[in-house]
Amino acid sequence: MSLIDDTRAALGDGGALATAIEGFVPRPAQQRLAEAIAEVIDARGELIAEAGTGTGKTYAYLVPALLSGKRTIISTGTKALQDQLYHRDLPRVRQALGARLKTALLKGRANYLCWYRLERARSDGLFTSREEASRLAAIHAWAGGSEDGDLAGADFLADDSPLRPQVTSTADNCLGTDCPFHTECFVVRARQKAQEADLVVVNHHLLFADQALKREGFGEILPGAQTFVLDEAHQLPELAAQFFGAMVSSRQLVDLARDALSECEGVSGARAEVQEPAQALELAVKAVRAALEPLPARASLAVFESHPAVAEALDALRAALATVAALLEPLAERSVGFKSCRDRAEELVEGCERILDAKGGGEVRWYEITARGFQLHQTPLDVSGALREFRAASQAAWIHTSATLAVDGGFAHLSEQLGMESPRTLLEPSPFDFHNQALVYVPHGLPEPNTPAHVEAVVEAALPLLDASDGRAFLLFTSHRALRQAAELLAARREFPLFVQGEAPRHLLLERFRESGNGVLLGAASFWEGVDVAGDALQLVVIDKLPFAAPDDPVLEARLEAIRRRGGNPFRDWQLPGAVIALKQGAGRLIRTHADQGVVMLCDPRLVGKSYGRIFLDSLPPFARTRDAERVLRFLREARQGRALPWSGNPEDTDSR
């Protein structure tokens, strides 16, 4: 039998998955997707496939990947999805198929404990509190019993804990084979396992970091593969631009200075040479941050031309960095730590040259001010050529899939950004009965989204729906400013438990939201996708505006200008497709199973007032649509009681302005 036949049999009635996995039900859409993937694997071709929620795309690509026997890399959009895929979905399918393949999970080095950095942190003893010292001791105890060093297993350590960078390595500060803990290194072990595996699960950040290394002529992290499956593929163009560019941050510079000082402890007489230049580098970093204070939070480096104080501070910073780099050159022979610091200093000098001196037309150079520091960036405007080059060199099959890839039923925008000339495409709608399970509601009378009254109007319009659904709602915002304003307005009423992004890590907020039974969660960008709340806990999603990218984003500005110069339409070719996909992600939080019911409330009058509003609405799942508030309230009350009636309204009701 062929791979296509084997795949069809495994996913069909009486097949391996139906026999071995409890609750598995064959789905025609899943079978069609899996067969298309099998064909592309056999032909080593390219596929872009949108698979709506409930299609079962994970099994659809795991089955042919495992049955093919070919070395496969599966890349996901987030570490959470990566863990779920490797620890839950892959073992089930592998066991059902009886596949005897070696598998591996590989993350970026920042996810693994570094023994050298841990021991350095313990010996330095620079703690801001007793709690921090206690937590470091807990990390040490945990590491002693960990098999893989993956900090996801240290559930007492928050993602934003200041201890994380102290106990993990970066590409900058890793000592490599010179490290005294090299034979015990968790990163080395994970990479070795990946090199030996038939199927490796990674995330997009690691995949692009690997490709960027290959492009620079360095060794690869990931093994060569015959099949690449890229899930959540809508994220790829933006992520690729990050990795094929350059970045220098204040944190990198300060870490270099402090690590150089710390390394003096083991080298006689070094402190006398290093201390003053290292401190001067830290002071120069602070001076740049102070000079940036009056400027916008992020903008093109061109603004520096009218702010001579920034240019002067940057010149002083580069001089201080050059001094440290020259100082470390002879010290590099005296310890592996100094050798690492020397290499990092040289890379930072090169990064500054690439960002501050280059004047190429195919890139944008920009800065961003953070709470305590800054970042300098050089970002390519077009990554299609680099991505096309890697696919061609791999001679592998490339499968790109997500629940949100198509815009108005087509994939031209994505294939162009990824440099794909004639990929196979497939659009498999969700099997859910969206027309009867959910409504899209566009209220009458809301002000334009750029007016000061908009957020308050959104909250006022949402309140009757919140009462009807008894909370159980997501309120998704396109800006943190709007989120904070809405949170203040809702907090004053104290009618439902509120869970506001930023008050706790995302996974804790979601856990508390589910447990509350009638909570209202307010989130911005990171809650628009990758968040799964099935069942009665969520029956209302409110979206404040159409999620167009921020107009003051310097990268976006440069991209739009480049499109304009070559005769394109920036709005049609870039802004609209990106916003459509983002809206599909946000609206997709509502219906996660066949039993879910609820309402998506879209609070942007441009949906019915602008001609492009039709593209947004037609790109969403086939929800029933209405502008009748009473119908929405009735539907929510019925859904709240678990007995919502089939919708009898006109699915095109939004067209009645």
b/e 502-523 (16+ beta carbons within 10 angstroms → b): eeeebeebbeebeebebbbbbb
Angstrom distance (rounded) from CA 543 to CA 547: 9
Query: What is Dmax (Cα atoms) for the chain?
Result: 83
User: For residue 220, what pLDDT is reported?
Assistant: 66
Q: Percent helix, strand and coil across the chain, each rounded to 5?
A: 55, 15, 35
Phi and psi of 126, rounded to 5°?
-90, 85
Q: Which residues, at least 6 apart from 98, have a Cβ–Cβ distance to it below 8 Å?
A: 16
Angstrom distance (rounded) from CA 151 to CA 164: 9
User: For residue 211, what pLDDT is reported?
Assistant: 77
Angstrom distance (rounded) from CA 10 to CA 325: 59
User: For residue 85, what pLDDT is reported?
Assistant: 94
pLDDT tens digits, 540-587: 999 999 999 987 899 999 999 999 999 999 999 999 999 999 999 999
SS3 label, residue 353: helix
Low-confidence ranges of the chain (pLDDT < 50): 217-218, 644-657
CATH 3.40.50.300 fits 3-102+197-243+383-428, yes or no: yes
Give the H or E element holding residue 237: helix 236-243
Question: Letter for the amino acid at 479?
Answer: S
Query: Are the C-beta atoms of 633 and 464 separated by less than 8 Å?
Result: yes
Question: Letter for the amino acid at 169?
Answer: S
- Enter the CATH code of domain 434-655: 3.40.50.300
Angstrom distance (rounded) from CA 102 to CA 196: 8
Helix axes 454-469, 629-640, angle to 10 degrees: 40
DSSP annotation of 532: -
Record the pTM. Answer: 0.89
Angstrom distance (rounded) from CA 212 to CA 218: 9
Angstrom distance (rounded) from CA 547 to CA 527: 13
Q: β-pairing, 199-203 with 72-76?
A: parallel
- Enter the CATH code of domain 246-380: 1.10.275
Domain range list for the chain: 3-102+197-243+383-428, 110-173, 246-380, 434-655
User: Residue 476: beta bridge partners?
Assistant: 523, 543
Q: Which residues, at least 6 apart from 604, have a Cβ–Cβ distance to it below 8 Å?
A: 442, 446, 449, 543, 544, 545, 546
User: For residue 643, what pLDDT is reported?
Assistant: 52
pLDDT tens digits, 448-476: 999 999 999 999 999 999 999 999 999 99
Question: Letter for the amino acid at 270?
Answer: A
User: For residue 243, what pLDDT is reported?
Assistant: 87
Q: Which residues, at least 6 apart from 572, have a Cβ–Cβ distance to it below 8 Å?
A: none
CA distances in angstroms from 534 to 53, 79, 95, 438, 542, listed in the order given: 12, 20, 26, 14, 16
For the record, the structure tokens of 119 come out as 């021991």
For the record, the structure tokens of 513 come out as 């939201």
User: For residue 219, what pLDDT is reported?
Assistant: 53
Sheet with 520-523, side-by-side order of all strands: 498-500, 520-523, 473-476, 540-543, 598-602, 438-441, 624-626
Angstrom distance (rounded) from CA 446 to CA 454: 7
Secondary structure string (H, E, C) spanning 187-226 = HHHHHHHHHHCCEEEEEHHHHHHHHHHHHCCCCCCCCCCC
Question: Letter for the amino acid at 158?
Answer: A
Angstrom distance (rounded) from CA 599 to CA 475: 12
Question: Letter for the amino acid at 200?
Answer: V
- Integer Rg of the chain from CA: 26
Domains 246-380 and 434-655 are alike in CATH topology: no
User: For residue 395, what pLDDT is reported?
Assistant: 93
pLDDT tens digits, 66-84: 999 999 999 998 888 899 9
Query: Are the C-beta atoms of 531 and 555 separated by less than 8 Å?
Result: no
Query: Are the C-beta atoms of 135 and 164 separated by less than 8 Å?
Result: no
